[in-house]
């Protein structure tokens, strides 16, 4: 009824927020918070990088989104609706996928069976989703019968990402996709993550390889002691003397 015209840039900018964490406090043990007021915004189609020292709470932050750690205060929203402490199966139904840092494949199952597990909520879509997944991870399509437990670390990581993609998520949470890989394979992993993101999946990636992460992400967050210490575009953070001094000095050079 109103004659409000389109083109309200401020409203649009606000509306495309997909995931938002506001002042999140969360922890595993009674009385001990690991996240101490963490904030994060991921907009539609963004690739967000999270870096920071060991133990800073990076994995915990992803787990707080995916309902795997007790959120004690603060707000977490998905497309504007609260998802605080919602369980993982509910989040999967809403289009959120999570690839954990470790133990992320079923080693006794074949690659194909691993992919099918990712689609348990919509098995009819198998052929269509497999086509998309193998457009990014072509090598897996040729080895569907191979047992996941017989794969290298990098190949397992691909299976884990592929399984997460089978459900056609709108948000992908990735915990250290390059961990344990040789430099060449790390580069490959980052290219795959970029490809997934370019296909339209809003992606939040935690990475130990801080430089490479900041090079490919749209925006990054430095997490320290459970709080976002710095936020900016990947480029800004890479060039920020404080971030370099505190977090990039030795990190990121390990890939050679």
Binding site for Mg ion (CB under 5 A): 58-59
Who contacts 50 (Cβ-Cβ below 8 Å, separation ≥6)? Answer: 40, 58, 61, 62, 204, 205, 206, 207, 220, 221, 223
Q: Put residue 208 in one of left, alpha, beta given phi > 0 → left and psi -120 to 50 → alpha.
A: alpha
84 bridge partner residues: none
Q: Which is nearer to ligand ATP, 34 or 111 (CB)?
A: 34
Kindly state the helix (H) or strand (E) to which residue 63 belongs, with its residue range: helix 58-65
CB of 85 to ligand ATP, least distance (A): 16
Query: Is residue 96 classed as helix, strand or coil in its secondary structure?
Result: strand
The single-letter DSSP state of residue 149 is G
Residues 178-217 that bind ligand ATP (CB under 6 A): 208
CB of 133 to ligand ATP, least distance (A): 26
Per-residue contact flags (x/-) with ligand ATP for residues 32 to 51, judged by CB under 6 A = --x-----------------
Among 11, 13, 15, 28, binds ligand ATP (CB under 6 A): 28
Interface region with ligand ATP, contact rule CB under 6 A, candidates 36-44, 55-63, 73-81, 235-243: 55-63
User: 10 Å Cβ neighbour count for 170?
Assistant: 18
Q: Which is nearer to ligand ATP, 52 or 234 (CB)?
A: 52
Q: What is the binding site for ligand ATP (CB under 6 A)?
A: 28-29, 34, 52, 54-60, 208
């Amino acid at each position: 009824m109103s004659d409000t015209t389109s083109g309200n840039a401020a409203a649009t900018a606000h509306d495309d927020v997909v995931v938002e964490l506001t002042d999140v406090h969360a922890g595993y043990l009674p009385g001990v918070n690991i996240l101490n007021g963490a904030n994060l915004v991921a907009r539609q189609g963004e690739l967000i990088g999270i870096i920071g020292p060991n133990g800073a709470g990076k994995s915990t932050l992803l787990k707080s989104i995916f309902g795997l750690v007790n959120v004690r205060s603060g707000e977490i929203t998905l497309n504007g609706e609260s998802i605080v402490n919602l369980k993982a199966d509910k989040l999967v139904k809403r289009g959120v996928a999570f690839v954990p840092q470790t133990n992320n494949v079923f080693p006794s199952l074949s690659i194909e069976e691993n992919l099918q597990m990712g689609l348990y909520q919509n098995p009819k879509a198998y052929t269509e989703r497999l086509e998309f997944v193998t457009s990014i991870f072509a090598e897996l399509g040729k080895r569907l019968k191979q047992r996941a437990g017989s794969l290298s670390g990098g190949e397992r990581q691909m299976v884990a990402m592929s399984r997460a993609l089978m459900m056609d998520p709108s948000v992908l949470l990735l915990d250290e996709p390059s961990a344990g890989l040789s430099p060449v394979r790390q580069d490959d992993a980052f290219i795959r993550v970029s490809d997934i993101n370019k296909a339209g999946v809003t992606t939040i990636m935690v990475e130990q390889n801080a430089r490479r992460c900041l090079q490919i992400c749209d925006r990054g967050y430095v997490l320290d002691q459970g709080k976002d210490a710095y936020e900016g575009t990947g480029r800004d953070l890479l060039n920020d003397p404080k971030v370099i001094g505190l977090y990039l000095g030795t990190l990121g050079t390990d890939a050679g």
